[in-house]
Amino acid sequence: MSWRERSCGIGDEAAPDLAGQIAVHTELGIGSIELRTIDGLGLHELDEAALAGAAEALTAAGLTVPVVDTPIGNWATTVATDPDGELAVLAGSARAAHALGAARLRVMSYPNDGRPEPEWAAESIRRLTALAREAERLGVVLLHENCQGWAGQGPEQTLRLLAEVDSPALRLVFDLGNGLAYGYEAGEFLERVLPWVDHVHVKDGLRTADGAVFTEPGRGEVDVAGCVKQLEAYGYRGRYSLEPHVAHIPHLAATAGAAELAAGYRACAEAFRAIWETGRD
């Protein structure tokens, strides 16, 4: 399979507006866009006309949308966030995904609000169970990311979540670089969860006293090449989606100007393409 068939990227890491996102991805020969925001709005916030316009523009450019990123369970929530509001976001995200020809939604599993770990675990699992059952009804699949939230702490929590929710509507997106912030090595975590990985996020970086600092793939501490080889050897044939965080970091409300944003994204895409071309052989 070609770079175009296997490559993807989170659009707002390249540009805030859809036209800019399409232009950068087309220039780089990337075949799909993972949509998180368009002009600062989440996909669940867009009306029918906006979604129809987005679908038309993407189709005209020959780009597909394999995953829609939602804010469900992410850094802006806690395990005490109103569950009805989260179900409403799920419904809006599913509506957007269907309009764009997608069926998978990125979610997380809720940061703690200070409660003991067993209570945090139980409530996170309860919430994801309810969300997965509703996802089944809506005809979408939730992809849990190893990021903010209880099950993002490590493979044991992730595997427990999958087992206890026990739904075909819950699978995984694995982010190669999130271990920089959460204290694990990507390859070790990945080895444990490979059978459930349907999508991959690509980032690299360095651990510092002030937290993770992100870099072009191949220039940081993450064994990006090793993870690609690990995935390909297992039989993974999904997309590799760029989320470089070098110029746009949503959870820190940090973003660069349009030119710097696009330039950083291009550099990361080109660096990862060189790794992918070697690692898939």
189-223 confidence digits (pLDDT tens): 999 999 999 999 999 999 988 888 899 999 999 99
Q: How many Å is the Cα radius of gyration of the chain?
A: 18
Residue 272 host element (H or E): helix 258-279
CATH class of 3-279: alpha beta
46-93 confidence digits (pLDDT tens): 999 999 999 999 999 999 999 999 999 999 999 999 999 999 999 999
102, 65 contact by CB (below 8 A): yes
Answer left, alpha or beta for residue 114, where phi above 0 means left and psi between -120 and 50 means alpha: left
Predicted TM-score (pTM) of the model is: 0.95
Mean pLDDT of 253-279: 81
pLDDT for residue 254 is more than 80: no
pLDDT for residue 17 is more than 50: yes
Q: Please tell me which residue, 116 or 245, carries the higher pLDDT value.
A: 116
132-177 confidence digits (pLDDT tens): 999 999 999 999 999 989 999 999 999 999 999 999 999 999 999 9
d(CA 85, CA 106): 17
DSSP 44: G
Tell how far CA 254 is from the center of its chain.
Answer: 18
Q: Which long-range contacts (CB under 8 A, 24 or more apart) does 136-139 make?
A: 136/167, 136/168, 136/169, 138/90, 138/91, 138/94, 139/94, 139/98, 139/103
Spell out the domain ranges in the chain: 3-279
pLDDT band at 37 (very low <50, low <70, confident <90, very high): very high
